[in-house]
Amino acid sequence: MANRKTKPTSPGRRFGTYQLREELSGDAPTKSLTAGKKRSSGRNANGRVTSRHRGGGAKRRYREIDFKRIKDGVPARVATIEYDPNRSAYIALLNYADGHKSYILAPQGLSVGDEVVSGADADITPGNALPLSKIPTGTVVHNVEMTPGQGGRLGRAAGTAIQVVAKEGAMVSLRLPSSEVRMVRGECRATVGSLTNADHQNVKWGKAGRSRHRNKRPQTRGVAMNPVDHPHGGGEAHHTPGGHPVTPWGKPTLGYRTRKKGKKSDELIVRGRRRKKR
């Protein structure tokens, strides 16, 4: 899999790259597994903008993904590998032996015609889902649950790979792509393999129009505004006045941590993703 370059007939074509997506086999999604998707454009229930620079973009239909994988013991055949506009990874359509159909996140190496199954007795092959306690140490997984029965929460982006590094009692230690090591209960399910479309991060959009297609609106720099509009505004020269950069509402930004302390899940972090400075 690789990205292609176009002839530089315009500045946007000169710098942009496009994905070939040679591994895809299906075009139109299965209608029964899709639903309408309404955009908020960054507005809350009162119609006020709470997330700036959002709006517009191409219409999408949501693909209903099976993140839980609880049809144990029922084999399924991969019908198609499809593109999903709502996520960076590709998805696979499964046709179960009992006639049921569902979408799952497509792991690397899964192809049309392959058979996948879920359950504690499943083999360690890409696409099979089973509890972490049944997965050998060193195996690469994705779509990992944080609470049993909740459905996959960790490892859902393109190219993501989470490694099972240790088992201790009822807990299993996982190394996340951020290098963080976190413990999860052994009953939590995970799917074997790393996710498809690892080249997604290498795509260069090349022009503003492709960002607009993806629901992203333009952003104006604070230093280009007037003092009434932004703390960085005004002055003869464009520079951040007097100290660290801030948001339009005066709160620190660029490295300022916004995660709340005392989260219950922090107790399960064995090694953080940030190295402590000596």
171 and 138 in one domain? yes
What does the block give as tokens for 41? 């454009």
Residues 23 and 92 occupy one common structural domain = yes
Considering the domain architecture, whether residues 256 and 123 belong to the same structural domain is answered as no
> What tokens does 10 get?
């315009």
Question: Quick one: 181 and 45 in the same domain?
Answer: yes
CATH number of the domain enclosing 236: 4.10.950.10
Supply 243's token pair. Answer: 């100290």
Evaluate whether residue 278 is within a structural domain.
no
Q: Which two tokens stand for residue 171?
A: 């807990």
Query: Within a 10 A sphere around the Cβ of 144, how many other Cβ atoms?
Result: 23
pLDDT at site 1: 55
- Say what the pLDDT of residue 84 is: 97
Query: Residues 115, 234: one domain?
Result: no
* 165 and 122 inside one domain: yes
Q: Could you tell me the sign of the dihedral formed by the alpha carbons of 115, 117, 120, 125, in that order? A: positive
Whether the CB-CB separation of 30 and 101 falls below 8 Å is answered with yes
DSSP 165-204: EEEETTEEEEE-TTS-EEEEETTSEEEES-BS-GGGGG--
Co-location of 88 and 191 in the same domain: yes
Q: How far apart are CA 144 and CA 161, in angstroms?
A: 10
Q: Domain tally for the chain? A: 2
The pLDDT tens digits along the chain (278 residues) read: 589 999 999 999 999 999 999 999 978 999 999 999 999 999 999 999 999 999 999 999 999 999 999 999 999 999 999 999 999 999 999 999 999 999 999 999 999 999 999 999 999 999 999 999 999 999 999 999 999 999 999 999 999 999 999 999 999 999 999 999 999 999 999 999 999 999 999 999 999 999 999 999 999 999 999 999 999 999 888 777 777 899 999 999 888 888 788 788 888 888 888 766 55
For 235, the domain range is 225-266
